Amino acid sequence: MPFAYFLKNLFSEKTPEFQEIPDFEPESQQNSVVEHSQKRMIEELIGSDEEFPNWLSNEDALRDEGVIFGLSDTLAEEKLKIIEAIFSKKAAGLNQKRDELSEKIGELNLFIEKKHEDLEDLKSKSAVALEKETIDENVLRVSIGLLLSIGMCVGNYFLIDEGLKNAYPSSHQWISWGVFLTGMFSLFNPTAVLHNDTKLDWKRLLEEFGMPFAASFFVFVQIWDTLPFYKSLAFLLFTFFAFLISGKILLSSVAKLKYEIKALKHNLKLKSDKKKVDSVWLDDKEGLDASIENLRIQKWKILPELNEVEAQIQKIKAEKENIENVFLSEYNLAKNYRQKLSNNQIKNIIR
């Protein structure tokens, strides 16, 4: 078909030449063995050119296809879909590899972020430990006070028991316990009225002083006949104030000891943390830094491969676009020239 070739050459004068897309240069790598292996892997991922139909792998045949489709008034989308499917198949392995590498980099980024968070936590803990000061604590003093208050209560009980021996020789111990516990009745109140600035009413006064006074007065009556008046009165006053004060001191010492033990634990922990700042936590921070650096190295090893895969994908995409442009250029020129030819000429050209 001499006219077909003439027509094809006529169209070709106005169309861009079929350009070969240059390869994208991958990033330089220090290890040539790794680079060679990487390139071989990428070549295996790219679909073979042997799968291309003849009209797609040959420039003249591609131009002929464009001319034939344009003169026959066939829709170009049919051919474009075929080109799209062929190049999608060609790039399928590369796209899958790109997704795998991107996922690996995403995982490494998450690991790096987590390590950074742990490192920041350690730095924050170290700064807090260095800035904090110990709390004043008096565990020993409060403990001694607690022991003394217990001693006061025990002494008060034995004093009561001694006073009731003569009156109740057979059951004085049980009665002494009853009197002692009765005198300690006001213990359920958190503070004594002597240490409270709130206004007192008769109910509170009766509650605070009534039972302790009744217990002390009971003992006073029992020893009235056996002891001189001044000793009996001293007995009354001593047991009365022992009931009022010793019980409150006992409970407040228990509550205070709980706080002091908490303060002691805080100081011991703070002291331990301060030691860890320059020992355990310092080693942990160095370990996290090394781990982050190792993860970054793994990421850097993947990036050149990912860049090469991206470059090959872009190369295939550019090749596809170039082929589509050549085909559409021939197709549009032939379609526009179709009106100038007779049906017999068109038949002879596309035969």
pTM: 0.55
Which pLDDT score, from 0 to 100, does residue 297 have?
A: 92
What count of Cα atoms within 13 Å lies in the side-chain half-sphere of residue 84?
6
Which pLDDT score, from 0 to 100, does residue 20 have?
A: 41
Calpha distance 79→328 (Å, rounded): 10
| Contact criterion met (CB below 8 Å) for 112 and 294 | no
Calpha distance 272→261 (Å, rounded): 16
Confidence of residue 255 (pLDDT cuts 50, 70, 90): confident
Calpha distance 234→228 (Å, rounded): 10
If you search the block for the tokens 């008096």, which residue do you land on?
138
Q: What are the structure tokens assigned to 16, written together?
A: 């861009």
Q: What single-letter amino acid sits at 116?
A: H
Which pLDDT score, from 0 to 100, does residue 31 have?
A: 47
Q: Which of 190-199, 206-215, 236-245 has the lowest mean pLDDT?
A: 190-199
Average pLDDT of the segment spanning 62-74: 75
Confidence of residue 340 (pLDDT cuts 50, 70, 90): low
SS (H, E, C) the chain: CHHHHHHHHHHHCCCCCCCCCCCCCCCCCCCHHHHHHHHHHHHHHCCCHHHCCHHHHCHHHHHHHHHHHHHCCCCHHHHHHHHHHHHHHHHHHHHHHHHHHHHHHHHHHHHHHHHHHHHHHHHHHHHHHHHCCCCCCCHHHHHHHHHHHHHHHHHHHHHHHHHHCCCCCCCHHHHHHHHHHHHCHHHHCCCCHHHCCCCCCHHHHHHHHHHHHHHHHHHHHHHCCCCCHHHHHHHHHHHHHHHHHHHHHHHHHHHHHHHHHHHHHHHHHHHHHHHHHCCHHHHHHHHHHHHHHHHHHHHHHHHHHHHHHHHHHHHHHHHHHHHHHHHHHHHHHHHHHHHHCCHHHHHHHHC
| Contact criterion met (CB below 8 Å) for 188 and 176 | no
Neighbours of 279 (CB within 10 A): 9
Residue 4 pLDDT greater than 80, yes or no: no
Counting Cβ atoms within 10 Å, is residue 51 exposed (0-12), middle (13-18) or buried (19+)? Answer: exposed
Question: What percentage of the chain carries pLDDT values higher than 70?
Answer: 75
Residue 49 pLDDT greater than 50, yes or no: no
Neighbours of 187 (CB within 10 A): 15
| Contact criterion met (CB below 8 Å) for 306 and 102 | yes
Comparing C-alpha atoms, which of 302, 160, 319 is closest to residue 240? 160
Question: What percentage of the chain carries pLDDT values higher than 90?
Answer: 9
Q: What are the structure tokens assigned to 242, written together?
A: 């022992």
Instruction: Calculate the average pLDDT of the chain.
Output: 77
Contact partners, residue 319, CB within 8 Å, separation at least 6: 21, 87
Confidence of residue 43 (pLDDT cuts 50, 70, 90): low
Calpha distance 55→248 (Å, rounded): 105
Calpha distance 9→5 (Å, rounded): 6
What count of Cα atoms within 13 Å lies in the side-chain half-sphere of residue 224?
7
Contact partners, residue 287, CB within 8 Å, separation at least 6: none
Comparing C-alpha atoms, which of 342, 336, 326 is closest to residue 64? 326
Which pLDDT score, from 0 to 100, does residue 107 have?
A: 93
Contact partners, residue 240, CB within 8 Å, separation at least 6: 183, 212, 213, 216
Calpha distance 70→64 (Å, rounded): 10
Confidence of residue 252 (pLDDT cuts 50, 70, 90): confident
Residue 112 pLDDT greater than 90, yes or no: yes
Which tops the pLDDT comparison, 296 or 347? 296
**Highest-pLDDT range among 157-166, 173-182, 194-203, 308-317:** 308-317
